[in-house]
Amino acid sequence: MTSAPTPHGTRATAVRTRFAPSPTGDPHVGNIRTALWAWLFARRSGGQFLLRLEDTDQSRAVPGSLARIEASLRWLGVDWDEGPDVGGPYAPYVQSERLEGYRAATDRLVAQGDAYPCFCTSERLDQLRKAQQAAKQPPGYDGLCASIPPAEAAQRAASEPHVVRFHMPDEGTTTFEDLLRGSITVENRLLDDFVILKSDGYPTYHLAHPVDDEAMQITHVIRGEEWLPSAPRHVRIFDALGYTRPVYVHNSVILGPDGGKLSKRHGARFVLEYAEDGYVPEALFNYLVGLGWSLDDHTEVIHPARMLEVFDITRLSVTPAVFDTQKLEWMNGVYLRDDALISPDRLVELFADRLDRDLPPEAPRPIDRELVRALVPLVRERIKTLAELPSMVDFFFTGAITPPARETLLGKPFRNDPEAARRGIEGARRFLAATSEWTPPAIEGALRAAAEELGQKPGDVFMLCRVGITGRAVTPPLFESMALIGRETCLARIDAARALLEG
Ligand code: GLU
């Protein structure tokens, strides 16, 4: 176990990181990428990783979010030591269930003179903002309620609606450390007295983050760059409450190819949508971790298990990364093709799950794993995502196929000569029925012999069989496929095709 150095002392604990999403729907890839980095860092340091739900903005809460967040993480292979579902020593891990803690911290800050109740109405704040705009001054609270004597303020607070604001010093500076960006200093006069407790009794993020990360003994706060401007406020609260500041790691944003903040219009999807679309979790994991992190200047394909050995958080980039859907697709294909990345057993599971999901009901269940295993070498080179698999191999699993259209069966070579097609298929059947073995070479030999006897091109006879047996003009390799389908089924489908030509 590594102890965790912080700029303001050292915690006597191992590394503890957390993922602290707000329940605003499906987590987007930017949030999940942060979670992956925090998880990798914790696991690689022999430390712990927590999940905490930040639901203090009740107006933005979307029901079912937590389940989607948990499912997204699990699908990617991320586990957590403590969290809403598994509990832990610092439970509860849902902020709306921790309101007393924020209230107690607020009371302490007020008693110390670091915070005060503010009774300003929204009308007054609006006017203030407009006046500041007109005078070209930076917006911010003017500190009016800070001048109310504490005893009077306390009395009013007992009956009047109010928020509580943290009192930022008007002079001096605040300095904090960011692991990637070094020491950052800001002038206090640029930061106004910000709200820590809202009128509904819920804390703002500015208060909830220090209170919870202290309570949960978090050593490293790995979060999005959008929080960087608020960090001086946060460290002020840490200091005022006598807490140990965590190490901050503010990571860069993800941009779309046009340079705008990544969004749906760039083709970015939610994690579970990638699952739907047939991405392999290992590949998405690899891709996301590498979006703003690198091992060196050339290695791109790093399996998650290997990431756990090589991930170095100090190599996160502070410049924005650009999301590239084509590269993700490419990486998915690399994973699908490489035994060293996805073992044959794992690939059989992934294939079988997808087929179970998408094959028509008439395909028998459970999906025949041995057939899937035999199909793996025939199709893994041919697909970029698992979603392409079912329609490529359905004819292996269903006894009957949807008969091909007559024109598809005739194709170009026989378009003007259906009789030749009929003879071709009839000859193929005869040779296939007579061959002693049912192996790819024997099947190929039989079809070539039939073509020779008929004076037809072997390729034309192959195509007749391909369409007749599979219903499609594009399939995995024909002889291997026919061997797997079996002689009886192949002959039955050829009979059906012949009937189609005769009809
Ligand atoms: N709830 C915050 C968010 O989703 C968490 C930021 C943090 O990790 O502290 O942006």
Minimum CA distance residue for ligand 1 atom 4: 21
Please give the number of the atom of ligand 1 that sits closest to the Cα of 24: 4
Measured CA angle at 391 (ends 390, 392), to 5 deg: 90
Give one word for 486, left, alpha or beta, with left for phi > 0 and alpha for psi -120 to 50.
left
Tens of pLDDT, residue by residue over 15-26, are 999 999 999 999
What's the mean per-residue pLDDT of the chain?
95
The answer to whether the pTM exceeds 0.85 is: yes
What is the model's pLDDT at position 268? 87
Tens of pLDDT, residue by residue over 98-129, are 999 999 999 999 999 999 999 999 999 999 99
Tens of pLDDT, residue by residue over 187-217, are 999 999 999 999 999 999 999 999 999 999 9
Whether the pLDDT of residue 183 is over 70: the answer is yes
Whether the pLDDT of residue 9 is over 70: the answer is no
Minimum CA distance residue for ligand 1 atom 5: 20
Q: Is 380 in the pocket of ligand 1 (CB under 6 A)?
A: no
Stretch 251-271: mean pLDDT: 91
**Domain ranges across the chain:** 344-396, 406-502
Phi, psi of 501 (to 5 degrees): -75, -30
Whether the pLDDT of residue 419 is over 60: the answer is yes
Please give the number of the atom of ligand 1 that sits closest to the Cα of 223: 8
DSSP 284: H
Q: Is 38 in the pocket of ligand 1 (CB under 6 A)?
A: no
CB 267 within 8 A of CB 292: no
Q: Is 22 in the pocket of ligand 1 (CB under 6 A)?
A: yes
DSSP 215: H
What is the model's pLDDT at position 324? 96
To the nearest 5 percent, what fractions of the chain are helix, strand and coil? 50, 10, 35
Tens of pLDDT, residue by residue over 455-493, are 999 999 999 999 999 999 999 999 999 999 999 999 999
Whether the pLDDT of residue 10 is over 80: the answer is no
Q: Is 223 in the pocket of ligand 1 (CB under 6 A)?
A: yes
Decide if 264 is catalytic: yes
- Of 130, 261, 264, 457, catalytic: 264
Whether the pLDDT of residue 4 is over 70: the answer is no
As a whole number of Å, the end-to-end CA separation of the chain is 77
Q: Is 20 in the pocket of ligand 1 (CB under 6 A)?
A: yes
Q: Helices 29-44 and 281-289, interaxial angle, to 10°?
A: 90
| 3-state secondary structure at position 157 | helix
Q: 406-502: which CATH topology?
A: Arc Repressor Mutant, subunit A (1.10.10)
CB 257 within 8 A of CB 323: yes
What is the model's pLDDT at position 267? 84
Provide the residue type at 466 as one letter.
Answer: R
pLDDT class for 90, splitting at 50, 70, 90? very high
Stretch 145-150: mean pLDDT: 98
